Copies of this chain bind each other. A is one copy, B any other.
Amino acid sequence: VVRRLSLYLRQLDALRVLGKPTISSRELGDSLRLTDAQVRKDFAYLSALGVAGRGYPVEELATRIRSTLGTDRSWNVVLVGAGNLGRALAAYQGFASKGFLLRGVFDVDAAKAGSSIGDIPIALMSTLPEVVKRESVQLGVIAVPPTSAQDVADQLIDAGVVGLLNFSPVQLSVPQRVSVVSVDLAAQMEQLVFQVSANAARK
């Protein structure tokens, strides 16, 4: 359900650029391959504000979705792991533009710590707790090898982080108060292969 809210938000942002003041559930649904009823149900869930005969006001709807997701406020983030993926994530524009403020990049490797990604310095893991506290960091991104993922997760949680975005292919075990979203790239690829095979089988 929440996954779709993000999709709506992308679409609405595009519409705003086009200057469209209003959008119908049918139109929005078509562009995302959803039924119009589905779209209306979703918006009802955020006690919606559609105008019969017109549709939904683009601007207000976007604001409403953002406040439901929690992206109306900005969030402090740290990233652990300055390998290839970590570097790419640190430089990724999509985060900064959506209110995610990168407060630090960390690595265990002393050789990496000291260098920097763009204008973001890479720090040693040992300095993590201090930064998390000082900057009130709530979210941590894990881009380290699978073998150290759980260890890094524990350190982040000890330091006070309450949400983890995990890019390593392991199931993290965390206390209830901490939320985890995992992105397993190999799994996505497997997903794709399955769909391709299924698609080919269906003649």
Contacts and interface: CB of A to CB of B under 8 A. Distances in A.
A186 B84 contact: no
B194 A183 contact: no
Q: Taking chain A's interface residues, is the majority helix, strand, or loop, or is none over half, making it mixed? A: helix
Contacts of A6: 184, 186-187, 190-191
Nearest to A139: B192
Interface stretch (A52-60, A106-114, A125-133, A195-203): A195-203
Interface residues of A, number: 62
Given A95-B189, A187-B3, A194-B2, A170 B10 contact: yes
B179 A199 contact: yes
B183 A183 contact: yes
Copies in the complex: 2
Given A6-B187, A169-B94, A194 B88 contact: no
A9 interface: yes
Nearest to A165: B192
A163 B183 contact: no
A124 interface: no
A64 interface: no
9 contacts: A2-B191, A9-B190, A32-B171, A69-B193, A75-B193, A84-B91, A89-B185, A181-B192, A183-B185
Given A71-B190, A95-B189, A180-B192, 10 more contacts: A10-B171, A69-B194, A92-B185, A94-B185, A98-B189, A139-B196, A165-B189, A178-B199, A179-B199, A181-B188
